[in-house]
Amino acid sequence: MSLFDPSPPSPAITPRSPLADRMRPRSLEEFVGQEHIIGPGKPLRARIERDDLSSAILWGPPGTGKTTLAFLIARITQCDFVPFSAVLSGIKEIKQVMAQAERNRKLGRRTVLFIDEIHRFNKAQQDAFLPYVERGDVILIGATTENPSFEVISALLSRAQVYALRALTVQEGVTLLRRALADRERGLGELGLTAPEDLLEQIAIYSGGDARSAYNTLESAAAASTGGELSRQAVEDAIQRKVLLYDKAGEEHYNLISALHKSVRSSDPDAALYWLARMLEAGEDWLYIARRLIRMAVEDVGLADPRALEQAVAAMQTVHFLGIPEGDQALAQAAIYLSLAQKSDAAYQALNRAQQEVRTGTPEPVPLHLRNPVTRAMGEWGYGQGYQHAHSFENAVTGMACLPPSLAAKRFYFPTGRGLEKRIMERMEELRRAKESQD
């Protein structure tokens, strides 16, 4: 059998194979997660059961079952399964695979061509698949962790259905770990280990929704455990972090983010760093923390220091680019900056006041002079009449009112006078005097 011949009915698994490989689901009933696409009656499940296959792109984080799902699709529909790596192969190998697939089609056999990390193929390599997909020589299933809208050519996307897979929930991760501990044939059942629920939850939390990572941690910890119970110390050694009391969906999650937010608001960088470290060590989602730091920048710092928002957004981008654990320092830098920045919630309160006015007041029509006369009739009705183009005036300041007459004297934004808002306050007063002089 050559490298490009169809794979055997099932991957070669031995007792020495990694636990994640041994525990691969053998049927859709064993598959955990992704209920939104393969649950009973869901789109992909229905197509598999009808044997109505078409090319597909499976898009999702690592360890969510993309490879396993592609294999199950081929197995259930009795297609040849040809795995193909975008990392190791080029156009020459593509042509060899396609020639075999074309011969199979003429013999009445269907081929599922699974391309792992399809986003690593360049445009020319992806173009090479098109004629074979169009002719039906192969049913192409691509797997990618990147947004296919940006990484897969449009011609291929138009011929494939995109299915978005999500990271496993903590409970789904615990289900897989429990199954592995109990399974005597493929899992760790022969060890006879018991494990407290909270310890399995910690492994699932640290895995970040990645089943492969969860299995690897469990296998390592189980090998170092004695006495018939999964050792807490062995789990800590496997993940190289202290196991802390934490539940992403429970009270402690909200307690810690509240403590971080209030420490930043109170200009206490040391406390902010402590609560940030607690969340990081407990396995909190890095991007969730980044999003909350952005919220702190706009809610508690605001225009007193506009660079705070830049710092927070830059931290989020850095975390996304570097990943874990290198992104930790970006979060710490942002937390320190926000803690030390001048504070103002004036912009936050200004929007609240404006929204309250909209909710409780009469919805006033837009003044005619602010409307665009896009047709001749609108101009005749008075649209745009009296509008003063700011750039035609000295210092680009006019005396024109932009609020409805009933709200002419209404103010929503009151700068605090702290940080840059002191200059903003002075600028607002300067503008007020300039507008009055235009009246």
Mean pLDDT of 18-28: 92
- Whether 325 has a pLDDT exceeding 80, the answer reads no
- Torsion sign, CA atoms 34, 35, 36, 40: positive
Nearest to 211 by CA among 42, 14, 25: 25
Would you say the CATH fold of 170-239 matches that of 19-164? no
Between these two residues, 406 and 242, which has the higher pLDDT value?
406
* pLDDT averaged over every residue in the chain: 86
Cβ atoms within 10 A of the Cβ of 176, count? 25
Euclidean distance between CA atoms 64 and 84, whole angstroms? 19
- Whether 288 has a pLDDT exceeding 90, the answer reads no
In the prediction, which pLDDT does 66 show?
93
**Treating both helix axes as pointing N-terminal to C-terminal, what angle do 286-296 and 269-281 enclose, rounded to 10 degrees?**
160
Of 203-212, 248-257, 308-317, 425-434, the range with the highest mean pLDDT is 308-317
Mean pLDDT of 36-60: 90
- pLDDT grade for 35, boundaries at 50, 70 and 90: very high
- Whether 227 has a pLDDT exceeding 90, the answer reads no
Domain ranges of the chain: 19-164, 170-239, 251-340, 346-438
Mean pLDDT of 130-149: 86
Q: Provide DSSP, 301-354.
A: IGGGSTHHHHHHHHHHHHHHHH-TTTTHHHHHHHHHHHHHS----HHHHHHHHH
Helices and strands: H and E segment counts in the chain: 21, 5
pLDDT tens, 364-397? 899 999 999 988 888 889 999 999 999 988 888 8
Between these two residues, 90 and 27, which has the higher pLDDT value?
27
In the prediction, which pLDDT does 250 show?
57
Radius of gyration of the chain (CA): 30
In the prediction, which pLDDT does 321 show?
86
Task: CATH number for 346-438: choose from 3.30.2130.10, 3.40.50.2000, 1.10.3710.10, 3.40.640.10.
Answer: 1.10.3710.10
Mean pLDDT of 196-205: 87
In the prediction, which pLDDT does 9 show?
43
In the prediction, which pLDDT does 246 show?
57
pLDDT tens, 112-136? 889 888 888 888 888 888 888 888 7
- Whether 248 has a pLDDT exceeding 60, the answer reads no
- pLDDT grade for 209, boundaries at 50, 70 and 90: confident
Which amino acid appears at position 363 of this protein? P
Which regions of 10-105 does DSSP assign to beta strands (E)? 56-59, 80-85
Topology adopted by domain 170-239: Helicase, Ruva Protein; domain 3 (1.10.8)
- pLDDT grade for 2, boundaries at 50, 70 and 90: very low
Task: CATH number for 19-164: choose from 3.40.50.1820, 3.65.10.10, 3.40.50.300, 3.90.1150.10.
Answer: 3.40.50.300
Euclidean distance between CA atoms 166 and 208, whole angstroms? 11
pTM to 2 decimals? 0.58
- Whether 278 has a pLDDT exceeding 60, the answer reads yes
What residues does 164 pair with on adjacent strands? Answer: 59
In the prediction, which pLDDT does 86 show?
64
For 173, the token pair is 């991760």
Of 11-25, 71-85, 163-177, 200-214, the range with the highest mean pLDDT is 163-177
- Whether 8 has a pLDDT exceeding 90, the answer reads no
Return the CATH architecture of domain 251-340: Up-down Bundle (1.20)
224 HSE (CA, 13 A, CB side) = 14
3-state secondary structure of 93: helix
In the prediction, which pLDDT does 272 show?
95
